[in-house]
Amino acid sequence: MLQNQCYNDEYDSTLKCINWSKVTNCQIECFNAYVESDCELGGLAERTLSNSDLGDAYHMLTKTLKDYAQKHFPKKIFAKFLKPYWNVELSNYHTIMN
């Protein structure tokens, strides 16, 4: 399930997908170290959150994980030249299918 997860970068509207087949153990260890050392994430587990705080906590958690993943993991690169037949119409159909 995780290998199919793609995300939009807040500053870039293109879809980013992690290339899980190229992720090394070293990259995973670096990612884990950054996540474990993040003070905000550590404090999140110790706090009691109200319903109004849940949305902010969820946003902070997912943003932090996405930022670290973008920093440490290789991304898939869409090579347009591999699909010269691809056009806007096919993109629309692909969007509808997903």
Note the pLDDT of residue 1. Answer: 39
pLDDT over 50 at 83, yes or no: yes
Under DSSP, is residue 17 helix (H, G, I), strand (E, B) or coil? strand
Tell me the pLDDT tens digit for each residue of 14-47.
557 888 889 999 999 999 888 888 877 767 777 7
d(CA 40, CA 2): 24
**pTM score, whole prediction:** 0.58
pLDDT over 90 at 97, yes or no: no
Tell me the pLDDT tens digit for each residue of 43-66.
777 778 788 888 888 888 888 888
